[in-house]
Amino acid sequence: MAKLSMECKKLMVKEIGDRLNKADMLIVTNYKGLSSQEMDELRRLLREASCEYIVVKDSTVKRAMSGTANNTVLDFIEGEAGLAIDRKKDPTQISGVLAKFSKGHAALNIRGGVMDGATLSIEDIKALAALPSREALLGILANVLNAPIQGLAGVLNGIITKLLYALNALKEKKETAVPEEKNKGEQSS
């Protein structure tokens, strides 16, 4: 029975290690004091943002991360920890959900994180949370790139419109000049 338990723990350590090593962004939280309903709500919010939230013991994480290059996460872990793992590669989403949830629930404390191997402080995570989402930033970039083209199209349209107004005015002038000449010719006869 003890042998089966050890095998199960080894598989769990391997699975957690795989998840943590594949993560582009990982945020460590302290969740002590959250009710089970609050934990379910947090997990649901993170799942909607294509993130995952797992609760692990510090010894399990230390075993899983030992000998890996991504072991800077161990600096933030004391006791049991909640690990939020980003799967969408959008750091603003995961940090935004955690920052917003921690404001409404004082028991959730953000301890720090790791993004692409770089250590993130609590201030870094809050700064990422304040940024617009990846999709919003791409929309802003598209508008910035599109603005000169729209300006050029407006200028070219203005030139064509002015040319048409000039040609139309010339046509109207000729049409009014022709009847006057006919009237002069009829009066002289």
What is the side-by-side order of every strand in the sheet holding 25-30? 51-56, 81-86, 25-30, 109-115, 118-120
Angle at which helix 2-22 crosses helix 58-65, to 10 degrees, equals 70
Structure confidence at residue 44 as a pLDDT band (50, 70, 90)? very high
Q: Is the pTM of this model over 0.85?
A: no
Alpha helices by DSSP H, 49-133? 58-65, 91-104, 122-130
Question: Which residues have a Cβ under 8 Å from the Cβ of 90 and sit 6 or more positions away?
Answer: 49, 50, 133, 134
| Token digits of residue 175 | 């049409």
Q: Which position has the higher pLDDT, 39 or 24?
A: 39
What pLDDT is stored for residue 183 in this prediction?
59
What pLDDT is stored for residue 74 in this prediction?
74
How much of the chain exceeds pLDDT 90, in percent? 5
Domain residues of the chain, as ranges?
A: 2-131, 133-189
- pLDDT at position 184 over 70: no
What pLDDT is stored for residue 68 in this prediction?
64
- pLDDT at position 31 over 60: yes
Over residues 11-38, the mean pLDDT reads 85
One CATH from 3.30.70.1730, 1.10.357.140, 3.20.20.370, 3.20.20.140 for 2-131: 3.30.70.1730
What pLDDT is stored for residue 37 in this prediction?
92
Residue 79's region, left for phi above 0, alpha for psi from -120 to 50, else beta, is left
- pLDDT at position 133 over 80: no
